[in-house]
Amino acid sequence: MKVMTSRIPQFIGAGLVGLGLSFGLSGAAQADHHGMKADIVDTAVEAGQFETLVAAVKAANLVETLKGEGPFTVFAPTDEAFAALPEGTVDDLLKPENRDTLTAVLTYHVVPGKVMAEDAMGADSVTTVQGQDISITTMDGQVMVNDATVIQPDIEASNGVIHVIDGVLMPE
């Protein structure tokens, strides 16, 4: 069994919620005037299909963290993935009194370091910023992260990479 591990960064307390994520499926977003790649948060915002994820990142005060130097690998659920959760789940997670739970869910979608799809496919699992492992399997040309399918891999950002997934990962 190959397991990718990384040291869990000391920045977790800064929170991932302030992210404002939305990812473009056409590839990495470009910063306005500089021809440079945008960071993970700005890339997500520009995509327009991660409004729920971005709202959650903001609610968890994780925006500045995810705009940080990184590198980070983010498994980013689409708005449709959040909509598929049981009714009321997202609303409950976004309540101020549930910030710790929300932060745990969001940091379970982040891996320290830049893990491209090809590298991830060679591993059985990776350790998240939240501290638990997520499994990675490949079947019939599809890459699965726990029970979610990667629907768009390798969207590069200035401080890491985003892999779009069709489900929300929930820590144990």
88 has pLDDT over 70: yes
What per-residue confidence (pLDDT) applies to 11? 30
Mean pLDDT along residues 92-103: 96
Q: What is the pLDDT of residues 120-139, one digit of tens each?
A: 888 899 999 999 999 999 88
CA atoms 35, 41, 44, 45: torsion sign: negative
- How many angstroms separate the CA atoms of 76 and 81, rounded? 9
Q: What is the pLDDT of residues 4-62, one digit of tens each?
A: 433 333 333 333 333 333 333 333 333 343 456 899 999 999 998 999 999 999 999 99
Cβ atoms 5, 128 nearer than 8 A: no
List of residues 6+ apart from 22 with CB closer than 8 A: 43, 44, 45, 46, 47, 48, 49, 50, 51, 53, 54
Strands (E) located in the chain: 3-4, 72-77, 110-112, 125-127, 133-139, 142-145, 148-157, 160-165
Amino acid at 151: I
Cβ atoms 108, 120 nearer than 8 A: no
List of residues 6+ apart from 86 with CB closer than 8 A: none
In sequence order, the β-bridge partners of residue 21 are: none
107 has pLDDT over 70: yes
Can you tell me whether residue 127 is helix, strand or coil? strand
Is the pTM here over 0.85, yes or no?
no
